[in-house]
Amino acid sequence: MPVSRGGNNNGELHEILSLVEERSFGELRRVLVEMNPADIAEQMSEIPDDKSLVVVFRLLPKEQAAEVFSYLESEDQQRIVEGISDKELASIINDMFVDDAVDFTEEMPANIVNRVLSTADPETRRAINQLLKYPDYSAGSLMTTELLRIKSEWTVEAAISYVRSCCRELASITYAFVTDESRHLSGVVSMKDLLGAADDELVSNIMDDDVIYASTTEDQADVAERFKKYDVVSMPVVDGEMRLVGLITIDDVVDVIEDENTEDIYKMAAMAPIEDSYMSTSVFQLAKKRVVWLLVLMISATFTGLIITKFENMLTAVAILTSFIPMLMDTCGNAGSQASVSVIRALVLGEVRFSNILKVIWKEFRVSIIVGICVAIVNFIRIIVCYYIGMYQVDPGQNIYLIAGVVSITLVLAVICAKFVGCTLPLLADKAKLDPALMASPMITTIVDAVSLLVYFGIASLVLL
């Protein structure tokens, strides 16, 4: 029984390539037919030369070809499109689900888009054109127009026999949507409820008229939120006049969720998010996405430098204080970004909101006391040990215990400040309708650096001078 775990088998690629080389096309076709479309796409993306790639693609049975094609990365899709005839292209496009065809079209250069649109059959072309007009990242751009529509006055028997006649062309039959004469969405029946109902029951009696839906112009991230909240596997999409125009299925939403996470992670690391995969984004694009924040943070670090300049005399008097600056800056920066990242993630997951700000501050305050004292104690011991094994020199007239004490008390106070800044800024950003992810580590590091140095020099002047 060839039940498959879908492992990543390197041997398969070698087998495919050597079958191409030997021109054993019959054998190769047999191998391909046994494989899962997603696996075939993965193996194909590793084929280096375009000719072999097109040969393998042409060997796929017609019904498999469109599916494999929709799993390919856009650069591999382009390599194939450039090597096949218009007729072959038309057959793939017409066999793809419309939303996959649109995803593909959006990624292609203009000349290929024109080829796609001129070869597709009129119905497909109309559907693609319609979907292409929705803005990027909108619910409209994510949906497919193929969905199961039934009428409220039908009996369950009639509805089931209708489903049986058309289900093969649909992307999802989990829900059947009930529309009136003017295509307004009036209800939904899950396939489970439809199949479970008696034959002579009317659809209007079993449909649920409380439908969770999306609007074409809505942001896809909001739609993804609603999928998570209501645990649904597909969601109808309506236009401005509440007419049913499409369907979003959860497999597309999973991709949106991953994209949103990538975006957040990039912002937290002080980068503008990239739109493509890392490997297919150009060096220039990557540099552009990164340099802006580096410049902002570099310039803001000037203030930290100025603080050091202001206290130059003290650093000359007690030279060893300089050597603790990196440790203080790093520890407090890390402590602050721990708090900010926790709060940002909790905001994204809907676990906290601005109204919880006092609870969050109180929580972080207690955490920072525990963490700050632990770090301070270890740090005190570390300094004393380092001193006795001769790693630190102290000028005559200065007391290493006093110096270690100053550094450790600074740590406690600066960790408290860092966690406070780290947990409040993202909540304030969210309240001000700014993206909290932008308030993550690097931004907070800069503020926390300045605060911790001021605390450090303040305490040092009091105690040591």
Contacts of its own copies in 273-302 (CB under 8 A) = 277-279, 283-284, 286-287, 290-291, 293-295, 297-299, 301-302
Residue list 96-135, contact with its own copies (CB under 8 A): none
Nearer to its own copies, 62 or 229 (CB): 229
* Other residues' Cβ atoms within 10 Å of the Cβ of residue 245: 21
CB atoms within 10 A of CB 73: 17
Residues numbered 25-64 forming contacts with its own copies, rule: CB under 8 A? 34, 36, 38, 42
Is residue 260 within 8 Å of 243, Cβ to Cβ?
no
Q: Which stretch binds its own copies (CB under 8 A): 107-115, 129-137, 158-166, 397-405?
A: 158-166
Name the burial class of residue 359, with classes exposed (0-12), middle (13-18) and buried (19+) by CB atoms within 10 angstroms of its CB.
Answer: exposed
Tokens 């909540």 belong to residue: 427
Beta carbon nearer to its own copies, 117 or 191:
191
Q: Which stretch binds its own copies (CB under 8 A): 11-19, 50-58, 127-135, 263-271?
A: 263-271
Out of 23, 184, 428, 461, the only residue in the binding site for its own copies (CB under 8 A) is: 184
Shortest distance, position 118 Cβ to its own copies, whole Å: 29
Place of tokens 């997603």: 38
Instruction: Show Cβ contacts of residue 287 under 8 Å, excluding neighbours closer than 6 positions.
Output: none
Size of the site for its own copies (CB under 8 A): 129
54 vs 194 by CB, closer to its own copies? 194
Say which amino acid occupies 279.
M
Is residue 305 a contact residue for its own copies (CB under 8 A)? yes
SS3 string, 352-416, reads CCHHHHHHHHHHHHHHHHHHHHHHHHHHHHHHHHHHHCCCCCCCCCCCHHHHHHHHHHHHHHHHH
Q: Does 182 bind its own copies (CB under 8 A)?
A: no
Classify 190 in phi/psi space as left (phi over 0), alpha (psi -120 to 50) or beta: beta
CB closer to its own copies, 125 vs 356: 356
- 82 touches its own copies by CB under 8 A: no
- What x-and-dash track marks residues 227-246 binding its own copies by CB under 8 A? xxxxxxx--------x----
Among residues 54 and 101, whose Cβ is nearest to its own copies? 101
Mark 437-456 with x for binding to its own copies (rule: CB under 8 A) and - for no binding. Answer: ----xx--xx--x---x---
Residue with tokens 């899709």, as numbered in its chain: 77
Q: Output 80 or 214, the one with its CB closest to its own copies.
A: 214
Of 316-355, binders to its own copies (CB under 8 A) are 316, 319-320, 322-327, 329-331, 333-335, 337-338, 341-343, 345-346, 349, 351-352
DSSP of 253-302: HHHHHHHHHHHHHHHHTT-PPPSS-TTTS-HHHHHHHHHHHHHHHHHHHH
